[in-house]
Amino acid sequence: MSPLCDRPGCNGLASATFVYDYQASTAWLEALTLDAHSMAHDLCDHHAHTLIVPRGWARHDRRSVSRLPMFAPDADEPSTTEAGRSGDGHACPAHPLTG
């Protein structure tokens, strides 16, 4: 059975994992992972897309472009979310779970 969204009152199917690091004031959205971790929360498409982090925090979406709901898969386009880069091409800080 697929995991459900961790947002209270939502029973949508999870499609992304939200991970954060308080010390670095950084949050990451990643492809859904089934690894349990105290700083990881599963979110449905709606809650992943509308996620807002606290003022002063960085938010990095590391999901592949083809999985984002606003983009259709296009084999001719290069990926803009290569490992270690945010969608805008700037280097991202190390991820707390994967380094």
pLDDT, residue 2, reads 76
pLDDT of 38 strictly over 90: no
| Mean pLDDT (whole number) for 29-40 | 84
Query: Do the domain assignments include residue 98?
Result: no
Write the pLDDT tens digit of every residue in 43-85.
999 999 999 999 999 999 998 765 555 555 444 444 443 334 4
In a domain, 94, yes or no: no
- Tell me the C-alpha distance between 87 and 81, whole Å: 5
Within a domain: residue 93? no
Residue 52 sits in which domain range? 1-88
Q: Is residue 45 part of a domain?
A: yes
Confidence at residue 71, expressed as pLDDT on a 0 to 100 scale = 54
The whole-chain average pLDDT of the chain stands at 76
- Which pairs count as long-range contacts for 90-96, CB under 8 Å and 24+ apart, including other chains? 92/26, 92/28, 92/58, 92/60, 92/62, 93/21, 93/24, 93/26, 93/58, 95/19, 95/28, 95/62, 96/19, 96/20, 96/21, 96/24, 96/39
Q: The pTM is what?
A: 0.62
Tell me if 96 is assigned to some domain: no
Q: How far apart are CA 31 and CA 18, in angstroms?
A: 9
Q: Is the dihedral of CA 96, 57, 45, 62 positive or negative?
A: negative
Instruction: With respect to residue 99, please indicate whether it lies within any of the assigned structural domains.
Output: no
